[in-house]
Amino acid sequence: MGEVAALRQLVGQVQELWDLYGANAHPLPRQNTYHLSPPLVGYFVDMQLCIKRWYLLDFEHGSIKDDYCGGRTGCNSELLKIMETNQSPPRKRPRRDRNREKAPCSNTTEVMQQEIWKEFPEDLFETVIARLPVAAIFRFRTVCRKWSSLLGSDSFSHQYSEAPHGLPWFYTITHENANNNVAMYDPSLKKWHHPSVPLAPTKIVIPVASVGGLVCLLDLSHRNFYICNPLRQSLKEILPRSAQGWSRVVVGMVLNGRSSSHGYKVMWLGNDGTYEVYDSTRNMWSCPGVFPASIKLPLALNFRSQPVAVGSTLYFMCAEPDGVLSYDVSTGIWRQFAIPLPLHLTDHTLAEFQGRVMLVGLLCKNAATCVCIWELQKMTLLWKEVDRMPNIWCLEFYGKHMKMTCLGNSGLLMLSLKAKRMNRLVTYNLLKREWQKVPDCMLPCSRKKQWIACGTAFDPCPSALA
């Protein structure tokens, strides 16, 4: 308290000197001078510059710090702060108020008015939902019955067909699980999905083709066909083909329009040149024309290679001679192209990317094995290599008798590489030219690895109807 009294006396003396010798100065109000409390704030006047400044006095550290518009500062002191005119010293706020300011904005969510959303246009709902990821679309169905019924509407189907979508999924059949041997792979999330309800009938069926979100299944007798939407877990049996007797066939699918709502066609082709086309809009099989005599029979079809569709044209892989056989479903025109295969090629299959016909296969020479990608050159009708698997991956196959199966051949390839005590699944993105390893397929409640037997790629479309 003695220091405070001494300070008050000093301030009074300065005031008296200023009143006596200050020529152009204004007297300071004494009531502002003597009403001080610790920490003391003094109001002083520089005699030479006539500049008013506020000071915060710190008696514990014995220092004074001042500042005026970026001017000079005194001794360093963390407790010394500049006080603005007519501003009280800072006081400590309760911890609850400080925590409330630090909390994220998400905690202060605004309550949406129900009247606003009542007038929200329905077509905008469909436009937004159609652009969501597939997993999110099935989550939104649990919001209400109205949103759940959107998947079956024609307007939503049109919106979904117009919206851009990502990578295709893979519909595969596993060896181990006999009751429900279907597994679907989402490459965007790198996750396997196992349907809770079996999609296939009691008969043993294999996926042979897909288009517009629909997958075509064929039983081992090669007579009975099934069309399913794996996402909606819907299944439809179509009429069996009219050909009598057992004969192995290859199967392809094309759309009648831009989406499955306009219908689709399923075509099968045998080695002896017999073929039929199923039209979903007419629900019947037909043979649109006669197989041309200029094409040599038997066709020696490559049954390990699934046909690829480019528009309304299907491309089949055949041998003797090596080449490609095409059929335009809309016009009924057949064409054959003799295209020599690259040397040392085994387990090859056709693929499609942005309207171009591709080839993928194992290139084996001596003890080395590598997976290569080729593109068909339209002018020269030759295969041109565009990419191959990284060498570090190929070293794993060195000296081993490898077998390759292509499980998907449209945009994104899934390759099953097998050898003794080895089964590798890899994907190849034709757009990014990127190789990735596929995680092991395992059931949710089991640690046992599922071995993939066969499969096909399909575009995930929740609104596709068989």
Residue-by-residue pLDDT tens, the chain, 466 positions: 566 677 777 777 777 766 666 544 444 444 444 444 444 344 443 433 344 444 444 434 444 444 443 444 444 444 334 344 444 555 666 666 665 555 555 444 455 566 666 677 777 878 888 888 887 877 777 777 777 777 777 777 777 777 777 889 999 988 765 567 888 999 988 999 887 665 556 667 889 999 988 999 998 877 789 999 988 888 899 988 776 666 789 999 999 987 787 899 999 999 988 999 999 999 999 988 788 988 988 899 999 899 999 999 999 999 888 999 999 999 999 999 999 999 999 999 999 999 999 999 999 988 899 999 999 999 999 999 999 999 999 998 888 888 999 988 788 999 999 888 788 899 999 999 999 999 988 877 777 778 888 899 999 888 787 7
Reported pTM:
0.71
Q: What share of the chain is helix, strand, coil (3-state, %, to 5)?
A: 20, 35, 45
Tokens describing residue 329: 């479903």
3-class secondary-structure state, position 95: helix
Question: Using CA atoms, how far apart are residues 410 and 408, in angstroms rounded to an integer?
Answer: 6
Q: What is the DSSP string of 109-163?
A: PPPPPHHHHHTS-HHHHHHHHTTS-HHHHHHHTTS-HHHHGGGG-HHHHHHHHHS
Asked whether 384 and 374 are in contact (CB, 8 A), the reply is yes
Q: How far apart are CA 185 and CA 169, in angstroms?
A: 6
- C-alpha span between 293 and 362 (Å, rounded): 34
Quick one: CATH architecture of 169-458? Answer: 6 Propeller (2.120)
Neighbours of 400 (CB within 10 A): 15
Burial class for 269, CB neighbours closer than 10 Å (0-12, 13-18, 19+): buried
Q: Give strand pairing partners of 285.
A: 278
Residue 263 Ramachandran class (φ > 0 left, ψ -120 to 50 alpha, else beta): left
Sheet with 182-186, edge to edge strand ranges: 191-193, 182-186, 169-174, 452-458
End-to-end CA distance of the chain: 94
Q: What angle do CA 319, 323, 328 make, to 5 degrees?
A: 115
> In DSSP terms, which residues pair with 268 in a beta bridge?
251, 276
DSSP classification of residue 396: G
Instruction: Give the start-to-end residue ranges of the domains of the chain.
Output: 122-162, 169-458
Query: Phi first, then psi: what are they for 100, rounded to 5°?
Result: -65, -35
Distance of alpha carbon 244 from alpha carbon 246, whole angstroms: 7
DSSP per-residue letters across 268-331: EEETTS-EEEEETTTTEEE--S---TTS-SS--B-TTSPPEEETTEEEEEETTTTEEEEEETTT
Helix axes 122-129, 154-162, angle to 10 degrees: 50
- Give 449's DSSP letter: B
Geometric angle at alpha carbon 67, from 66 and 72, rounded to 5°: 95
Q: Return the structure tokens found at 168.
A: 């295709």
For residue 376, report the phi and psi dihedrals to the nearest 5 degrees.
Answer: -80, 120
Q: Is the peptide bond before 39 cis (omega within 30 degrees of 0)?
A: yes
